[in-house]
Amino acid sequence: MKLSKIKELLKAEVLWGDEFLDIDVSNACGADLMSDILADNKINAILLTGLTHRQIIQTTVMGDFAAIVFVRGKIPSKDVIELAKEQKVPLLTTEYPLYESCGILYEAGLGHSQAKNHVLGTVSSDDSESPQAMRLTYDVFGNDFNSAGKAAEQAKRVLKQIGIDSSIIRKVSIAAYEAEMNIVIHAYKGQLIFSITPKYIELIAKDEGPGIPNIEKAMEEGYSTAPDKIRELGFGAGMGLPNMKKFSDIFEIDSVVGKGTQVRMVINL
């Protein structure tokens, strides 16, 4: 379905990106929680959401969504629209609420023929350092929401430049973005360290922070210690660590209370 048809069906207004109305869209995701958006496996989909802050653009880029349709008549601020222009993410707005918007598009046939293909790679048994490894290191600072997501975005750009398969890039990007946001939300500071080898990509997220008292509890879907102000941004749904594990072939976590946490993820190529 053309984006122009979606615009017509939802009686939407284009906020930016008229030149993209001719693109083909095969599915849609409707959500107001960041982790739900990142966990969505649909390909070539649009995002329908009521979230309008800067992080929705970064999340859209990490999830490879084709466009954003803001529901309930929501319109983002000028700086968010400018960021969308930089990232070439078309923006539309509709007066319909989220439920009705999704229903209208589904009834019109969007997504009916989209098969869900989520194939996990084989866990690598060779974790030794490769002499051909490329290493990327990014500093991340707690409570820095203006820069949140930039490390994952820069790493994604590098992976594209060196020709990594798009399905692998999506896994790495989402795992990295969730890890980066965890540092921003919960820690004082930290680092994302990527090691790119011919066989796998290793991502280590380590931070200096309060640590995790109960790792088993923290790995449960829906468990979160995020404050209300974070939840209001669409984060803190308790899906960060589960999503990181979901998109990794190897997942390891270690934490010391009062010192910090380290997460190691391996995605096979």
pLDDT confidence of residue 110: 93
Q: Judge whether 226 and 145 are in contact, CB under 8 Å.
A: no
Residue-averaged pLDDT of the chain: 88
Whether residue 27 is predicted with pLDDT greater than 90 in this model: the reply is yes
Q: Is residue 59 part of a domain?
A: yes
The residue among 92, 107, 122 that closes a domain is 107
The number of CA neighbours under 13 Å toward the Cβ of 94 is 22
Q: In this structure, are 179 and 68 located in the same domain?
A: no
Does residue 122 form part of some domain?
Answer: no
- In-domain check, residue 89: yes
Indicate which CATH number applies to the domain containing 54.
3.40.1390.20
Terminal CA-to-CA distance of the chain, rounded, Å?
A: 32
In terms of Cα–Cα distance, which of 188, 149, 167, 184 is closest to 61? 149
Picking from 236, 240, 245, the residue whose alpha carbon sits closest to that of residue 267 is: 245
pLDDT at 114 exceeding the cut of 90: no
Of 107, 125, 149, the last residue of a domain is 107
Please report the pLDDT score of residue 131 as a whole number. 47
Report if residue 194 sits inside a domain.
Answer: yes
Domain co-membership, 78 together with 173: no
Domain count, the chain: 2
> From start to end of 31-187, where are the E strands?
45-49, 67-70, 91-93, 134-141
- Average pLDDT over every residue of 119-136: 52
| 34 confidence band (pLDDT: 50, 70, 90) | confident
Is 199 found in the same domain as 102? Answer: no
Task: Give the total residue count for the chain.
Answer: 269
Same domain for 243 and 172: yes
Distance set, CA 118 to CA 65, 154, 185, 241 (Å):
16, 25, 29, 19
Q: Are residues 171 and 79 in the same domain?
A: no
What is the domain-level CATH number for residue 152? 3.30.565.10
| Residue 250 sits in the same domain as residue 156 | yes
Helix (H) or strand (E) holding 106: helix 98-107
Based on the fold, state whether residues 150 and 263 are members of the same structural domain.
Answer: yes
100 and 170, same domain (yes or no): no
Residues near 5 by Cβ (< 8 Å), separated by ≥ 6? 108
Considering the domain boundaries, does residue 91 fall inside one? yes
Domain match, 159 and 237 both: yes
Task: Give the Å distances, CA to CA, from 180 to 45, 61, 200, 207.
Answer: 24, 15, 20, 10
Q: Among residues 88, 107, 126, which one ends one of the domains?
A: 107
pLDDT at 122 over 60: no
Q: What SS3 class is residue 195?
A: strand
pLDDT bin (cut points 50, 70, 90) of residue 127 is: very low
Name residue, tokens 């859209």: 60
Residue 44 lies in a domain: yes
Entry pTM:
0.62
On whether residue 251 sits in a domain, the answer given is yes
Residue 148 lies in a domain: yes
The pLDDT of residue 236 is 67
Task: Give the residue numbers spanning the domain of 191.
Answer: 134-268
**Do 101 and 156 reside in the same domain of the chain?**
no
Q: What's the pLDDT tens digit per position in 50-92?
A: 999 888 998 888 888 999 999 999 999 999 999 999 999 999 9
**Which pair of structure tokens corresponds to residue 252?**
């390891």
Q: What percent of the chain has pLDDT over 70?
A: 91
Half-sphere exposure of 11 (CA within 13 A, CB side): 7
Site of tokens 């051909």: 132
Per DSSP, 132 falls in state T
Q: Same domain for 101 and 154?
A: no
Residues 180 and 249 in one domain: yes
Classify each residue of 207-231 as buried b or exposed e, where b means 16 or more C-beta atoms within 10 Å of its C-beta: bebbbbeeeeebbeeeebebeeebe
Question: Would the pLDDT of 112 be above 80?
Answer: no
Do the Cβ atoms of 6 and 46 come closer than 8 Å? yes
Rg (CA), the chain: 19
Task: Give the separation between CA 10 and CA 31, rounded to whole angstroms.
Answer: 17
Report in angstroms the alpha-carbon separations of 97 from 71, 80, 94, 102. Answer: 5, 21, 8, 9
